[in-house]
Amino acid sequence: MGWVMDETGRLKLWADYAKNPTRELRENIILEYAPLVKVVAGRLSMYLGYNVEYDDLVSYGIFGLIDAIDKFDACKEVKFETYASLRIRGAILDQIRKMDWIPRTVRKRQRDITNAIKDIESRTGRAATDEEISAELGISSEEYDDWQSQMKVTNIISLDEFTESGGGDISESSTVSRYDLPEEAIEKEELKIVLKESLDQLTEKERQVILMYYYDDLTLKEISNVLEVSESRVSQLHTKALGKMKVKMGKYMGILVNS
């Protein structure tokens, strides 16, 4: 991640700041955790595609990092990186919401695509292909590709819903283990089934993009190198995959955002 200090150095920095919260120590903490902002901004940029500049996302995220430093309570035994990541992401999403730049036509097209996929799958009993979806919508394959490019901006809606529904709750101590309640165990089993079904409906390349990005933690550039396609093509495959998965995963869609 590009840390300046090791874990011991960071703990000492926090201890010094707790005893004497000077402006200089605060700035040192900001500099130390600045790489975390870039990581969070990089993940969100995957959802937004090329609609928002990466440097702008980093700028918005810095305000979240500063807010996290000011409000962090070490007594709760939650890692600062975990707490700060949520604050950084929240600050970026807040700014995106204020911009309100998602056109109504784009929102409508997202709904139309979702409904088309549901209708096709209810009739055929299998995953809908791009060709079937474009035919269902009454548009050409080229137009459908254009719609998919525009859909990148609507992916932020899922992020908003996940954050506001409490998906980012970190109140539970990272050092305390507990047994799952019966209903939680059932929900985990449901998630495994839904996740498998949603992955099964993807094309091979779409599945590779999802697995490499969310499970192997590869960047957009790294995935493009592995698949030997352009970064814009990886972004397009990612958008298509999320659109298909959203239909199957429903309330579980937020699990990808938090991974």
Q: Which domain holds residue 162?
A: 104-257
Amino acid at position 245, single letter: M
Which of 99, 126, 155 delimits the end of a domain?
99
Comparison of pLDDT for 225 and 220, the residue scoring more: 225
Across residues 80-92, what is the average pLDDT? 88
Residue 162, in any domain of the structure: yes
Instruction: Give Rg (Cα) of the chain.
Output: 20
DSSP alpha helices (H): ranges in 173-212? 182-200, 204-210
pLDDT at residue 51 greater than cutoff 70: no
Which of 59, 84, 99 delimits the end of a domain?
99
| 86 & 160 share domain | no
| 172 & 253 share domain | yes
For residue 254, the model assigns a pLDDT of 60
DSSP alpha helices (H): ranges in 125-181? 130-137, 141-151, 155-164
Q: Which of 223, 220, 214, 219 is nearest to 257 (CA)?
A: 214
The answer to whether the beta carbons of residues 139 and 150 sit under 8 Å apart is no
pLDDT bin (cut points 50, 70, 90) of residue 157 is very low
* Range in 29-38, 131-140, 230-239, 249-258 with the lowest mean pLDDT: 249-258
For residue 64, the model assigns a pLDDT of 93
Q: What digits encode the pLDDT tens for the residues 57-71?
A: 899 999 999 999 998
| 157 & 48 share domain | no
pLDDT at residue 147 greater than cutoff 90: no
Q: Which of 93, 112, 6 is nearest to 52 (CA)?
A: 93
Q: Work out the percent of the chain whose per-residue pLDDT is above 70.
A: 72
Q: What digits encode the pLDDT tens for the residues 169-207?
A: 333 333 333 334 444 455 556 666 777 778 888 888 888
Q: Which of 219, 214, 182 is nearest to 195 (CA)?
A: 214
Residue 2, in any domain of the structure: no
Cα–Cα dist 66/36, whole Å: 12
Residues 6+ apart with CB under 8 A from 98: none
Q: Which of 111, 152, 150, 113 is nearest to 135 (CA)?
A: 113
Residue 64, in any domain of the structure: yes
Which of 65, 99, 133 delimits the end of a domain?
99
Comparison of pLDDT for 125 and 74, the residue scoring more: 125
Residue 1, in any domain of the structure: no
pLDDT bin (cut points 50, 70, 90) of residue 106 is confident
Across residues 108-133, what is the average pLDDT? 86
| 239 & 133 share domain | yes
Domain count, the chain: 2
| 76 & 117 share domain | no
